[in-house]
Amino acid sequence: MKPKRPPVLASWLLQRFGVNESLVGDLAEQHRRGRSTAWLWRQALIAITLTMLQDIRAHKVLATRAIAVGWLTEWLLLIMLRQPARILGNMPGKAIWNWTIDNGFDGLRILWFGGLGGVGVPVFLTLVLVSAVTGLIVGQLHRRQGATLVTLYAASAPVFVAVWLHRESAFAHPSWSFLLIAIPLSALLGGLSASPARTVPRGTA
């Protein structure tokens, strides 16, 4: 019988967030001895949260800079992509509107113009892409504490996007599920892909 191995994603996240190597080893050992996968995930998330809090307390300036860099980058990217996104959205928009009315496909029309969390497909794709690219940039600029600072930026991103959409009268107001799931997840995926493993050696606090 092969020994149990910790979930690959859990191990990957523990390394990315720099959880102490001794603790990572202890969790893996207890999992092999019979602890459930749910238990391991619970302990891993607690360890990651505590490590993040320690990172933020020890690097307050970097934490503030990461949010500022993220918001500024996202703002600049949205400024650049706002008009192209509208043009690309409007080009097929009229044809989609007429075709769905003629053929009774209301679902497609609703999806294109506002069915993805309260925003249309062009806006949704633009915001998801911008959030992912911004997360990637934040991660590249803060590689030592990349995972922590990317997560901090990702947590703040829905606030920025909500403000942006509120002032953009041409954009529909999104649902909370879009703001709290799609946007942070995009930023995390983009940012964590740029963050190297940062496991703390055994015996290091």
For 41-65, how does the pLDDT look when each residue is reduced to its tens digit (9 = 90+)? 999 999 999 999 999 999 999 999 9
Per the structure, how many domains does the chain have?
Answer: 2
Please tell me whether residues 36 and 102 are part of one structural domain: no
**Global pTM?**
0.79
Boundaries of domain holding 173: 60-192
Give the pLDDT mean for 160-175.
71
Average pLDDT over residues 68-82: 93
DSSP H helical segments within 104-145, as ranges?
106-114, 121-141
**Residues 52 and 80 placed together within one structural domain of the fold:** no
Kindly report the backbone phi and psi dihedral angles of residue 165, in degrees, each rounded to the nearest multiple of 5, phi listed first: -65, -35
Q: Are 74 and 88 contained in the same domain?
A: yes
Q: 47 with 124, same domain? A: no
> Does 201 map to a domain?
no
Query: What is the rounded CA–CA span in Å between residue 136 and residue 146?
Result: 10
171 pLDDT above the threshold of 80:
no
- Tell me the C-alpha distance between 3 and 31, whole Å: 10
Q: Are residues 141 and 118 in the same domain?
A: yes
- 111 with 175, same domain? yes
